[in-house]
Each structure stands twice: as structure tokens, then as C-alpha cells.
Structure 1
Amino acid sequence: MYSRLKYFKNSNKKVFLASINIVFLITALRFLGLLQPLEWMAYDLLFLLRPSEPKEGRIVIVAWDEADIEKFQEGSISDSKLAHILEKIKAQKPRIIGLDLFRNVPVLSKSLSKEQNERAYQKLQEIFRSTPNLVGIAKVTPPQIQAPQTLKEETRITSADLLKDGDETIRRAYIHPLEDGKGEPAGIISIGVISAIKYLSFEGFEVGEERNQALTLTRQQSPEKNEGSGNFESQSNSHIRGVARFPRSSRSSKITLRPLKRFDGSYVKKEEGTKILINWRKGNSPFFQVTVSEVLAGSIPANTFKDKIVLIGNTSTSSSDKHHLPINRWTLPSTTNGVETHAQIASSIVSAALDDRPAIETIPEWSEFLILLLMVTAIALIAIKYREKHTLKLFLITTSIAMSLCCCLAIFALVAFFSQGYWIPIVPSLLGATTTPIAICFIVYNDKIEQNNQDLKQLIKDLNHSLQNSLRPIVEGGNIALDVSSNLKKADNLTETIARYEEELGEHPLSAIQENLEIILLSAGELNRQRENSQEYFKIAYLGQSVFSKKLTAFNQLVNKTVQEITYIKQHQYNLTIQIQEYYDPQIKDVPIDSQSFQRVLENLIDNAYYAIHKKTQTRPEHQGIIKITTHKKKEPSRN
């Protein structure tokens, strides 16, 4: 087993090194943040693949739209109309009213006099004071916008800040946009989060903190007996942190918001504030909306706002409060109003607690590395398995299919996990799955070139040897014939000279010359055959063909045929009758081999044997040489 492992390691060392380098290179790219844009795109695509969801029935948006602007000829809703709207909403007893409008200065109505506008402003401030479940907004990150002074005094101020990623898309929500000098949450909570907390307080959830300073919402009593906490300050001043993690059972008894740390998901930068990922509700119109005109006209049902989260905001097409969300990246319209964005944040938390609709969680960094490692290893092992058994073209097809299957499996798993609320950054794994076969194909191609170079060197060596073997009898036979003919020509007594040569050679000199000429002709034929074989060089050099073309061949039959052909030629060439002993292992069947190259090698071996025996018989005429031809199947290393 050790020998097999050693062979496996040595033969695939380049593949393993390439795979390891790919894993560490992609990991470095991931932690440097260079894969963030691709990860964001993949994350948004997951929302695109989701089916549409039903409307969120617990949230109602009161919209100041383009029709209202045209009707009232006011760019922003005036204090007078806002006061009337709040009175009508308050009368239906909503759980919380979120005013997603900056009201740090009075907003006058063109249709009212100065005195009427002043009275409207004072009336609005009085409504602010007398509505304990009303919250206003401020912008606490630069550029800052102050909150209404009245709501500020009542400590009913929330943050309207929205966190955009580098591509101007909102994927996360602030809990606290600010931190103190120690990195602890500071300042006010976002309007979407506080709306969810207030709503859940009516369902029996109370705010608490864990030892790790994460915020918890725990159900203390049944919702039928709970009237909701009226103490807004105690809720809004709690230290709330990052990633929402919710139990998977319906109507959860506890919700925990944990910090979204550096390197969670695809994020690598340390940013101020505490944040959570939002499970965006997909749909053409995910929330019920009524217009300001409809509320003022009293044309809405009497229970429209009862026990609801009511958010008031600007939804007009001329408003600049529009944002890109993952759910509308590839849809029209491509932006979402700010008030609807805050509604999405509130819905994400509320539905997780009451509907078993999971919040988005990230997986640990080590698990991302493990997934990447498994993906690259799987592709590498598949490539190793098929690299020796197939041609380069078939190998490319096989690895491409394997890569596609692995990618499809990874995407399917990603979608399945995402439906359960787990975000698995998939780009590193997909990048590993695509670059690994490319790298391995490059290695295989390189090895093929190196092998061809080695084969070419061997081919040249064999051809050189064959040419030497063919030239040797020509030179020797020519010298003998030249020597005999020259001496006969110079001889004074031709008869005596012929007799002397006949005694030395054991035959008539002319017969010796004839035999050597026959040898020269045979060798010339060999040279011509070598010339034909040399055409392979031109195929390699000019046509780019492989040096050796391996095909499944009956090995024993090939050896036997080659031996018969070569020994017939060599017997006449060396004038030797040598015993040939052949044994062929019956276990050997078809073998992938280049027949022509193998025949050249076998020819050289047999020629060397004939030449050695020929030299021996010149000093020891009684020597009887034997050539043994044996084939046997190589034993594989033990698997034990």
C-alpha cells in the first residue's frame, strides 16, 4: 500500500501543488476583498431566484406620492396635512407610527396664511407629544440632519441612516449607525429595527442582553394578555448588535441579534456601527400602501392601521430617497423608496419571530475554506483519475463535465441553504471549480509536450542506432569485396591467388563478393525503410502531430510477427542460423502501444544480439548462439 501511495503522490505531484496553490490564492483574494463584487452579484441573484412572497399584512405605508404633490401643489407634506393624517392614524390604534420624514423645520402650506401655518405647526408638535407610539427620524452619519426638537425631548428619535455597499446597493441594515470610542454601539437605533421591537412587544417579547452584549427579544407572556410596552425609551436605548439569528420553530420564543463581524459573508472591511443582513421580501408590492389623499378623504377601511406598524414617507418619483436593493437588481423599477426599505427591515425581524421566516445568517470563515478545499479536491481527483486513461481531448471533455456538475451541485446546495436562511459565499468555490481543471489541463498539456520531447529523443536514438546497424554490414561487406577484388586485380598468378582466397575464405572469392553484395543490398533496403520511417519527424516538426500514436494492439502477436520478419533479414545479413526461443505470457491481451516505435526498438535489440553472436563465432566457430524472446505481465503493487 505504501508503494502505491508513493507512486500516486509522485505521479500527481504537480496536480496537488497546483490545487493547493489555487486554494490559497483564492482564499487570499477572498480575504483581500477582491471577490466582493462577484459575491454581491451572487447574493442578489439568490433573491432573484426566489418565488414571490405574499404581502406583509402587519405593515402599512402611508405614501406621499406624485399624485398628492400634483393635487396639493406641495413638494413636501405640510405640517397641517401631517397633523390631520396623524390624528386619523392614531384613532385606529396602531402599535407604532414611524415618521420617515425629516421635520426639523416647519413645512408651510401655500394654501394657508402665516398664522394658520403657525397654528398647524403648534398642533403638530402637540400631536408629537401626545402620541407615545410615534417615532421620528434623524440622520446621524454625515451629512447629519437633526430630528424634530419635540420628539428629541421625548427621546422618541430613531435613525434613518441606510448602509450602502460599494456598488450602491443596500444589503445590510444598521442597528446602531454609531459606535463609541470602545467600539460599543452608541446613539439611536434605526427606525426599521425599533418598529419591529415595538410591534413584538405586543406579542409578549421583551428586550434583554446576553453576556456577549447581543440583544435578545424573549417572549415572556402570551400575546393575548400583553398590551405592549409603553416605555419606548427602555427599548430604544438598549445596545443592539448585528446578525439576527432566530430559532427555526414557528412563533419563536427568543430572537438574538448578534454582531455582523468582519469577514462575515463577503465583507472584509471594519465599518462603524452594528449591522444585520436583511431577508428582503420579494414581490411586486410587498406592503399595503395608502396615499395621503386617501387618508385625508377617509376612504380607507376603519381597521386599516389597527395593531399595525404604520410608516409614513415620500414615495413620489421626484424623491431622491430611492435605493437599490438585491430584490430589484434585475427588475423594473430598479430602485425602492426609503420608507419601503425601512418597512423591509422591520418585516425581516417580525416575520422571523412570528412566521418562522428565517433571517439571513452567515457561516464561519473556516467552513468557507473547507467548501473551497473540498471543491478543488473533488475536481483534482476526477482529473487524476481520467488523465492517464483518455486522450487530451477526451480528458478536457471529462473534466469540463465534472466541473459543470460540481458547480451545479454547489449552486443547488447554495439555493437550498439560502432558503433556510444561510448565506454561503459561493464565488471562491466556483472560482476554484473552474480554475482547477484549467490548471490541470495546462499541466497535462505541458506533460504531454515533455513526454513528446522524451519520445522524440528516444525516436532519434532508435533511428540513429538503426542506421548504424544498417551501415555496419555495408561498410564491412564493401571493404571485404573491395579487398578481394583489388587483390585479384593486382595478382600476377590469378589462379594461385583465387586458390589462396578460397582456402582462407572457405569459398570461391567471387561467391564471397556476391554474398557481401547481397548483404549490402539488404542493408540498403534497411536504410530505405529507415528513410520512410523518418517521415515521422516531419509530422512532428511541421504538422504538430504526436510522436507516438498509441492504439490498443494484440501485444504477443505483434512481438511474434516482428521477430519473424527481423530474424529472416538478420540470418541473411550475418549468414547465421540462430535458434530463436519464444515464450508469450497468455495473460497479456491488448496493450496501448505505438506499433512502429516498438518494432524499431525490438529490431535494434535483435540486431544487437545477432551482432554479438556473429563476433563470437569469428573467434569460436563452434559457438551456437540462442536468442530468447519472452513476454510477461508486470505485477501491480499489492493493495494490502
Structure 2
Amino acid sequence: MSQRVVLNLGMGDLYSGFPAVTIHLWEADDPHPSKFVGSLPAAPEIPELYRSWQLVYEALHDRLDWHPRIEIEVADVTNVSEIEFGKLCQRLTDQINTWLNSESFRSIDQPLRTRLNATDEIRLLIETNDRLLQKLPWHLWNFFDHYPNAEAALSTPEYQRADQVPTQSTSKAQILAILGNSRGIDLNQDRAFLERVSSQAEIEFLVEPRREQLNARLWQRWDMLFFAGHSSSKEQGVIQINPTDSLTLEQLRYALRQAIAQGLKLAVFNSCDGLSLAQQLADLNIPQVIVMREPVPDLVAHTFLKHFLSAFTGGRSLYAAVREARERLQGLEDEFPCASWLPVIYQNPAVAPTTWREWCGRVGEQESRGASEAREGIRRKLESRISNILLSSVAVTALVMGVRWLGWLQAWELQAFDHLMRSRPAEPQDQRLLIVTIAEEDFQLSEQQQRKGSLSDLALSRLLEKLEPHQPRAIGLDIYRNMPVNQALPKLATRVRQNDRFFAICKVSDVENKHPGIAPPPEVPPERQGFSDVVKDADGVLRRHLLGMNPDPNSPCAAPYALSAQLAFHYLEFEGLSARYNSDGNLQLGQVIFDRLGPHQGGYQQVDAWGYQILLNYRSYRSANEIAPTVTLNEVLTGKLKPHQIKDRIVLIGVTAQSAHDYIPTPYSASHGFYQEMPGVIVQAQMLSQILSAVKDGRPLLKVWTFWGDALWVWSWSIAGGVLAWRLRSLIQQVILAGATFGILHILCFILLIQGNWVPLVPSVLAFFVTYGGVAVYISLKKQKHSLTSKQD
């Protein structure tokens, strides 16, 4: 079984540590990963050891005349023996494993290992932009001893799939082999190993080409780009294409981008010090690159290429082929120490790893598939039988709705919901709000020197002094303060006690998760308290808005409403609108009814609908984090805020600093090709804006249909699938109309969501294609039976 593991090291470095390390595990073809969170401590000895190792390694290259594929400057270490070098290698190995076996990392390492089997083929992607971390020999981690079919690869945290252009397929793999400057090295061996696979590949060799010649050939369609010769990464990746000319990949940017768009899947640089080359290609979204981390001796380069090509063209996966070829280099380490440390994969996580089989035999497969499709088209006659279509569609709809009722489609439906949410057009910022954020730099303000938590008493006092004269409608403090105000600031205690516009948060105790709760500020009376609790889905994403609850009487937080609801109620009371419950027990503000979410509603079929929950209709301007005007604490304290920016607004005060760890995954977290969670204060603003916009602007709340409304919708798309399968003869027509139908379904669901209706997308797609496939198979079997009967007659 193939498994993908992504280790994201987050922010930090080896000198200060990595406070937010995450691991995502994709098991087999499951699109929903498991996530583990931990941290890694500082390990300043690793950079020092690695630099010493690198200096000695380069010195051995120079002293032992290894014929490396790089121009090496003489290192400042010249008198170290190979035995001492071996000890240095062992020390570096031990330090790496000590670091990765640290206590804070076990919280993700141990759960990960319990989900993996020793027989699994594991692709471990290490996401980091830190050059030193990319240089480290990650295969020395004892994780790889326990999982013999695992291999590490490097990746940047930001990536996306390159746009593809249509190209003509061929029956052989297409390889462009560049043999550059060969001074002091033997490139004939590289050519010989490539020529061994010429029966399965069309290989074009460019021997010491000119720049214009290389540029022109890159504009063609290739499966693999191979380079052998001198290269380096001193400042940026450089390849020597002939004895006089050296190029950076930036100088070939447009040609390489075109090659990738036309299907270039793999680049192999069998040359020295290639990490910068890999990074430049990663910026162009190439699927995979194989490079050498450090200077590579000629024999090591030849041996790796021989074994990699043998394993890869023999059917092994790319990762398995690289591991096998890399481990075979250990047989050379008497003569070339650390040879097996050199090869590394650079992977674009948005693209599945390539295989040799994908590159070969495509014409034959397409001809076979075309013949099969033609037979299917002939068999699909106009034998429309409405009764059969209706019977099939009813059966399929019942099956899909039953599976949905059990909650088996919920994860997919929530992902589709997130996709539609992110696709909606931008909306203007909510000018009724003003968000005051506390960023990392605000912790360094002089007013914050005696803080307990994220905001000191002095900073809060001066902040309120700046805000209150300009008459905000309300002030909401989204920061826990369960301690009394410092006695040295009696005016602050009086202000928060008597100001009926000041609201604060607390957290209700959670017996199930053993959370004791967090009390509100002692000076704030109960009527101006709001809970901060939210309800996340099983994948950790926040899609629901918890408006109210009945807290445990023993909880330190007894607030019956969320902070967002309390602020909205206070704001709307100025407009003459008071919250009440209608005869159905639903909360009503003005003419707007906030329908409570219950079990088995919409995409939520397995959900604990405790408390008073509604769907959260996020608002996005340029991004969902820019829902309202935002200023920093420092900007307010230094008087950079204008009175009109405060008057009659709700001011929300909260922390956005990464170190506070007040971040929540939302449907927008995976947008723009990277993962970004939303600060808690922005989430509060989203919830508050939802209430105000619904009451004051008529912005729709998100609603779901009844069970029978959903069933009728799904049934209609099931019928559509059956009709298409029965009525269309041409496979091309079927594919086009099936794709068009799916597009129409997607657009309708999108339009309805904008209008506030979350309707079934995933169940409708399943019903459409299951009915379509079932009717198509029935027609095929009937045609075969008819053919056999005709022959017997």
C-alpha cells in the first residue's frame, strides 16, 4: 500500500527551534489526511556539525582527487583523516536522531508510526524553505530503518500544479539528455547508461550545446530532462553547458516553463550541488527533480544513474527506484565516504509521482480504449424505456440517500462545501466593525512590559482611553483575562465594571475533553460576558456558528450566549431591535429568523447539534481575513486612528500573533495554494458580521432543504444520468454532455449557495454517475445477449 506523509516544519530554525510542526498522513487513496501536531527543539549543534562535515567532505574531494562534477574551492580543513571523517559522520547522525527523537516530537512521531506498516511504500515529503534543513541527510533518521520501503523528498511549503497544454502522445518515453562541459569527468558512461533504455525511449543527446540550441529544444515535449556535467549552487543554480558557457535556470525560464506545461515530469541533474537547481525548477511547478546535495565523484554519479534507470524502467516507483539506487552507493563508501548521502528527490506535492509506464505505450492504450469506446457507443441505442430509468434512478437515489444518512458522505460534502465557499465572489468589508489586533511586534511595546497573557492591564487601559472618547457602539475583548485588574490601575477596574459597552469573553468548562474552562474578568458583570466556545467538525474545520448554550452550573463561565451574539444584540438594541424566540423556539432578530441546525440536515448527517448552532456564512473581501478594517495595537496607542474609524462601530480586540496559537482552520484555510488558519479574533468578526449583515442588510443566512427536498434534488440528477446513458449513441456526446451536466450541477449549487441554500452536490454527482453507469452496463449486457442470440439463429 502506498502512503504519503508530509512533514511541515513551519516557522523557526535549528537555532531557535520549531514551535509548530505538523504531519499529514494520506493513507492509500484516501483524500482525507490524518494530522498530527507537535514541535521540535532548538539544535544548534547540528548546523555546526554539518558545516564541519561539509568542509571535511570538500577537503577529501580535493585531496583524494575524486574527479567531482564541480569546481571545488580548497576547503580550510586539510589534515583530517578518513577515520576522523567517519567519526564526524557518526556524530552528525547521532545528533539528527537525538533531535528527531526529542520528547516534543514524539506526539506526532509515535502516532504516525502506529498508522504505518513496515511493508508500506511511504513517500515522506519534508516541507521547508530552510536551505540547511534541505541539506541534511534525512535518510539517516531511524524512521527509515523501520520502514524499508520509505524514501524522503524535499518540498517547498508553497506549490501548485502547472497549467498543461494539449500535446500529441507517443508510444515511447521522450528524453532530452544534455551532456555539458566534460572537463575532467567522463560523460560517455552517462550516455551509455541512457542508451540502454533506447528500446523504450526516444532520446535526443545535446553534447556541449550552445545556449540558443538548448533553448530551442526545451520548447518541445519531453517526459524527462537529464543533465550531466559541471554544476554548482554557490549563489544560485548554475550549469556549465559547454567549456565556455554557464547558465542559470532563470536564463532558460520560459523554455523550461513551456516544457513543463507540455508534460515534462522529471528532471535529473547527475551533477554536483544541485539543490538550487531543484528550487528554481520547483518555482516553475515541475513535478519531480532528482539532484545531488553535495559535490559528487564521477564514479558515484555513474553508479547512481545505472541503478536508478534499471529500477525505474523495470517498473519500480520513482521513490523506490531512488532509494534502491541510493543504497547501492554504500558499496562505494570505502573509497567515497558518504556517497549514499548525496541523491535526493525534490517533489511538487500537487502532482502525483510519475512512473515509467505512464511514459510508454500510450498509443496502444489509446487505440484499445478508443475501440472499446466505439463498441460502447454502438451498443447504446435509442432504446429509451422510461420505466427502467425511473426504477434505476429510484434505487440509486435510495442507496445514495441511505449512505448519506449514515454519514459516509459527510467528509466529501464538507470538502465540496469548502470549495464552493472559496469560489464565491468577493464582498465589501463590513464597515460596522473595527478590529484591533495584537501582533508579535505589539508584545514589545513599553505598555506591554508587565503583561500577563497577551494584553497587559496598562495596555488595555490606554487602549480604552483612546477608543472610548470616540463613542464606539460596543467594545469586545477577545482575550482571556481571568485575573483582577492590577490595583495600581483603579480607573481601569472602574471602567470595565461600569462601561455598559465593554464586553469580554470566557470559556465554558468541557467535561468530555477535560477542559476546566476559563473565567471572565472579575470586574465584568454577567450580562456583558460572552463565551468563546466554537464547534469544529471532525476534520478540525469551523463551519458552524454556536450562538448559545446552557452552560454547566459549575463552570467558571456561565455566559449563555457567544461573544459575537452579545455584541450583535447590543448593537441592534440601538436600532430598536431586540432578540426574542418565536413560537418554533428559533431565535429572531427583527424579521430574520436564525434556524437552528439539527441532526441529519444538509451535508451534516453525523453531527452533535448541541446548543444553538447555525451554519457560518463567511464573508471574504480580498481574503476572508480582511472581513473588516483592521489596525494594530501600536497604531491605536500612537494616535494613528481617526475618530470616524471608531464612532458607532463595534471594536473587536484580539491576538493575531502566531505565538499565541489562537488560530482556527476554516473553509478558506486551504485557499491560494497554501494552508493558512484564521486568527480567533477574525473568526469572531466573521460570526458578528453574519448576524449584523443578515438583520441590517438582508444578506442571506445559510440554510438547508428538508430531507425530501434533498431527495427530490438528488433523484432529478439520477434521472438525468439514466436518460443520457439511454439516449446518446456517441461516446463523445456522452462524455461532453456528462461533463456539461456536471458543470451545470456545479454552477447551480454555486448559485444557490450564494443565495444562502446549501444543496447536495456530492450525492447528486454520485447518483448521476451511478445511474449513468448502471444503465450503460445494462445496455451493454443486453446488446451482448442479442448478439449471441442472432448468431445461434
- Would you call these one fold, judging by a TM-score over 0.5? yes
The residue matched to 2:503 in structure 1 has which SS? strand
Aligned partner (choices 486, 489, 497) of residue 129 of structure 1: 497
Contact 2:509 2:518 in 1 (8 A): no
Q: Does 1:257 align with 2:594?
A: yes
Aligned partner (choices 592, 596, 603) of residue 266 of structure 1: 603
Higher relative contact order (CA 8 A, sep 6+): 1
Q: Distance in 1 between matches of 2:384 and 2:720?
A: 19
Contact 2:384 2:727 in 1 (8 A): no
Matched with 1:397 is: 732
Q: Does 1:25 align with 2:399?
A: yes
Q: Distance in 2 between matches of 1:305 and 1:350?
A: 17
Q: Distance in 1 between matches of 2:522 and 2:551?
A: 25
The residue matched to 1:56 in structure 2 has which SS? coil
Q: Distance in 2 between matches of 1:346 and 1:414?
A: 26
Amino acid at match of 2:753: F
Q: Aligned pair in 2 of structure 1 residues 95, 172: CA closer, same or farther (>3 Å)?
A: same
Post-superposition shift, 1:341?
0.4
Higher helix share: 1
The residue matched to 1:326 in structure 2 has which SS? coil
Contact 1:79 1:106 in 2 (8 A): no
The residue matched to 2:603 in structure 1 has which SS? coil
Q: Distance in 2 between matches of 1:99 and 1:367?
A: 42
Amino acid at match of 1:156: R
**CA offsets, 1:336-394, max 9 Å, x none?**
100110101111111122222212111111111001111111221332334xxx4xxx3
Q: Distance in 1 between matches of 2:778 and 2:528?
A: 66
Structure possessing the higher radius of gyration over alpha carbons: 1
After superposition, residues 23-422 of structure 1 pair within 5 angstroms as: 23-72=397-446, 76-105=454-483, 117-120=486-489, 122-142=490-510, 143-151=515-523, 153-178=525-550, 187-218=559-590, 254-268=591-605, 269-283=607-621, 284=623, 285-331=626-672, 332=674, 334-386=676-728, 390=729, 394=730, 396-422=731-757
Matched with 1:492 is: none
Q: Does 1:445 align with 2:783?
A: no
The residue matched to 1:328 in structure 2 has which SS? coil
Q: Distance in 2 between matches of 1:36 and 1:350?
A: 29
Post-superposition shift, 1:14?
5.8
Matched positions, count: 395
Matched with 1:249 is: none
Contact 2:509 2:552 in 1 (8 A): no
After superposition, residues 425-504 of structure 1 pair within 5 angstroms as: 425-458=760-793
Contact 1:171 1:326 in 2 (8 A): yes
After superposition, residues 534-545 of structure 1 pair within 5 angstroms as: none
**CA offsets, 1:213-234, max 9 Å, x none?**
222222xxxxxxxxxxxxxxxx
Post-superposition shift, 1:148?
3.0
Q: Aligned pair in 2 of structure 1 residues 18, 379: CA closer, same or farther (>3 Å)?
A: same
Amino acid at match of 2:685: A
Post-superposition shift, 1:191?
0.9
Contact 2:670 2:676 in 1 (8 A): yes
Structure 2, gaps ≥5 residues long = 1-381
Post-superposition shift, 1:66?
0.9
Contact 1:19 1:380 in 2 (8 A): yes
Contact 2:389 2:719 in 1 (8 A): no
**CA offsets, 1:560-579, max 9 Å, x none?**
xxxxxxxxxxxxxxxxxxxx
Amino acid at match of 2:732: I
Contact 1:53 1:282 in 2 (8 A): yes
Post-superposition shift, 1:15?
5.0
Contact 1:94 1:307 in 2 (8 A): yes
Q: TM-score, normalised by structure 2?
A: 0.47
Q: Distance in 1 between matches of 2:457 and 2:589?
A: 36
Q: Aligned pair in 2 of structure 1 residues 69, 89: CA closer, same or farther (>3 Å)?
A: same
Q: Distance in 2 between matches of 1:170 and 1:76?
A: 23
Contact 2:530 2:559 in 1 (8 A): no
Matched with 2:370 is: none
Amino acid at match of 2:518: Q
Amino acid at match of 1:350: L
Q: Distance in 1 between matches of 2:634 and 2:699?
A: 34
Q: Distance in 1 between matches of 2:627 and 2:653?
A: 16
Post-superposition shift, 1:302?
2.3
Post-superposition shift, 1:420?
1.4
Q: Aligned pair in 2 of structure 1 residues 290, 192: CA closer, same or farther (>3 Å)?
A: same
Post-superposition shift, 1:303?
2.9
The residue matched to 1:103 in structure 2 has which SS? coil
Contact 1:400 1:437 in 2 (8 A): no
The residue matched to 2:571 in structure 1 has which SS? helix
Q: Aligned pair in 2 of structure 1 residues 367, 33: CA closer, same or farther (>3 Å)?
A: same
Q: Distance in 2 between matches of 1:154 and 1:277?
A: 26
The residue matched to 1:287 in structure 2 has which SS? coil
Q: Distance in 2 between matches of 1:302 and 1:153?
A: 28
Q: Distance in 2 between matches of 1:187 and 1:174?
A: 13
Post-superposition shift, 1:456?
3.5
Contact 1:164 1:170 in 2 (8 A): yes
Q: Distance in 1 between matches of 2:495 and 2:561?
A: 22
Q: Distance in 2 between matches of 1:345 and 1:76?
A: 22
**CA offsets, 1:525-563, max 9 Å, x none?**
xxxxxxxxxxxxxxxxxxxxxxxxxxxxxxxxxxxxxxx
Q: Aligned pair in 2 of structure 1 residues 415, 209: CA closer, same or farther (>3 Å)?
A: same
Q: Distance in 2 between matches of 1:195 and 1:149?
A: 17
Contact 1:169 1:326 in 2 (8 A): yes
Contact 1:179 1:273 in 2 (8 A): no
Amino acid at match of 2:536: K
Report the RMSD for the aligned CA atoms in angstroms: 2.5
Contact 2:615 2:702 in 1 (8 A): yes
Amino acid at match of 2:519: A
Post-superposition shift, 1:432?
1.1
Q: TM-score, normalised by structure 1?
A: 0.58
After superposition, residues 593-604 of structure 1 pair within 5 angstroms as: none
Q: Distance in 1 between matches of 2:583 and 2:552?
A: 19
Post-superposition shift, 1:9?
11
Post-superposition shift, 1:24?
1.2
Contact 1:151 1:157 in 2 (8 A): no
Post-superposition shift, 1:154?
4.5
Q: Distance in 1 between matches of 2:789 and 2:385?
A: 16
The residue matched to 2:737 in structure 1 has which SS? helix
Matched with 1:563 is: none
Contact 1:129 1:154 in 2 (8 A): no
Post-superposition shift, 1:68?
0.5
Contact 1:259 1:276 in 2 (8 A): yes
Q: Distance in 1 between matches of 2:476 and 2:716?
A: 48
